Amino acid sequence: MNQNKSVTEFILLGLTQDLVKQKVVFIIFLVFYSGTVVGNLLIIVTIKFSRSLGSPMYFFLFYLSLADICFSSSITPRLLADSLSAKTVISYNECLTQVFALHLFGAMEVFVLVLMAADRYVAICKPLRYPVIMRRQVCIILILLAWIVSFIHSITQIFLALKLPFCGPNLIDHYCCDLQPLLKLACMDTYVINLQFVANSGAICTNSLLLLMMSYFVILYSLRNHSAEGRKKALSTCTSHIIVVILSLGPCIFVYTRPPTTFPMDKLVELFYTIVTPFLNPLIYTLRNAEVKNAMRKLWRIKIASESKL
């Protein structure tokens, strides 16, 4: 660890200091977190045990739901506990652990969205080669690469944080630990480290969004040659994915591609990105996807039938 630091713990100011509002925060985000865990677990279980959802698209959706649960779990339980606590103290090591988890699973979510877009591009633009290009072994390798790159990105955030000396104050005006709030507390000129931070996190968000926009532009352009029924089915799938991309990468770009300045809406934007989006993703993919809904109904009927025989 950094030997120059004198601060061994931080105080998270959270979303509000008002005791009544803290209880409201607890109730609201308990609902969001419960919905996130239940909704994404339902998708994971459905994909795992349904034979009709064996395509690469659902293979990637499985890992998107897994990343959503882990991403939300790196933030929300601590937020819920702090909203009921009079003293919201987090140790230096716990703070860095949260930074690591936040960026590991956040980056994984972004990379899975890119892989899902690549899957849709191959399926729509190169349908004859799709079974060869997106075979199971290739999908597994792509997911492993996504985990590796996410880990490297997250470790980079920790190396940047370890360069920061903290000598007071130790008040973090946020509900979680991230590199940007820590930069404001460092006892040094953080201009260079902030540039490295933006070049790392900001580049991932921005480049991923540009790549996704280009891929969907090509996909939408190629759909003009498809039948009306084919266009409708492809657009339904792509629309769900585009909505999730906008909800995930829009706030991400706002948070991670600018200087370490504070705006009034910062906490709300990051709340949407870290807590609300993982809650909405399973709703978007189930409500707009007939195959997932049918698979869930089938598994539910099988479960009821098996229980009735007991």
The per-residue DSSP string of 153-219 comes to: HHHHHHHHHHT----S--EESSSS--HHHHHHH-SS--HHHHHHHIIIIIHHHHHHHHHHHHHHHHH
1: in domain: no
Confidence band, pLDDT 50/70/90 cuts, at residue 307? low
113 or 247, higher pLDDT = 113
Confidence band, pLDDT 50/70/90 cuts, at residue 7? confident
Between the CA atoms of 172, 173, 177 and 180, what dihedral angle is there, to the nearest 10 degrees? -100
| Both tokens assigned to 55 | 């395509």
Look at residue 59 in the predicted model and tell me its pLDDT. 93
4: in domain: no
Residue 1 has pLDDT above 50, yes or no: no
How many structural domains is the chain composed of?
Answer: 1
CA 214 to each of CA 209, 210, 242: distance values in angstroms, whole numbers, following the listed order:
9, 6, 12
Residue 9 has pLDDT above 80, yes or no: yes
Q: Residue 208: which domain range?
A: 9-309
Report the percent of the chain where pLDDT is more than 90. Answer: 33
- Mean pLDDT, rounded, for 26-39: 93
Q: What CATH number is attached to the domain comprising 302?
A: 1.20.1070.10
Confidence band, pLDDT 50/70/90 cuts, at residue 288? low
Confidence band, pLDDT 50/70/90 cuts, at residue 106? very high
- Mean pLDDT, rounded, for 195-205: 85
Beta bridge partners of 277: none
270: in domain: yes
Look at residue 263 in the predicted model and tell me its pLDDT. 64
- Mean pLDDT, rounded, for 213-226: 81
| Residue pLDDT, tens place only, 170-199 | 888 888 898 888 888 888 888 888 888 888
Does this model's pTM top 0.75?
A: yes
Confidence band, pLDDT 50/70/90 cuts, at residue 260? low
Look at residue 262 in the predicted model and tell me its pLDDT. 64
- Chain-centre distance for alpha carbon 283: 15
Residue 142 has pLDDT above 90, yes or no: yes
Other CB atoms within 10 Å distance of the CB of residue 197: 22
Residue 210 has pLDDT above 50, yes or no: yes
Report the percent of the chain where pLDDT is more than 70. Answer: 92
Look at residue 248 in the predicted model and tell me its pLDDT. 83
Residue 4 has pLDDT above 60, yes or no: no
Residue 5 has pLDDT above 60, yes or no: no
129 or 241, higher pLDDT = 129
83: in domain: yes
107: in domain: yes
2: in domain: no
Look at residue 227 in the predicted model and tell me its pLDDT. 72
Confidence band, pLDDT 50/70/90 cuts, at residue 215? confident
> Is the preceding peptide bond at 169 cis, omega within 30 degrees of 0?
yes
264: in domain: yes
Look at residue 88 in the predicted model and tell me its pLDDT. 85
Residue 86 has pLDDT above 90, yes or no: no
- Mean pLDDT, rounded, for 127-154: 94
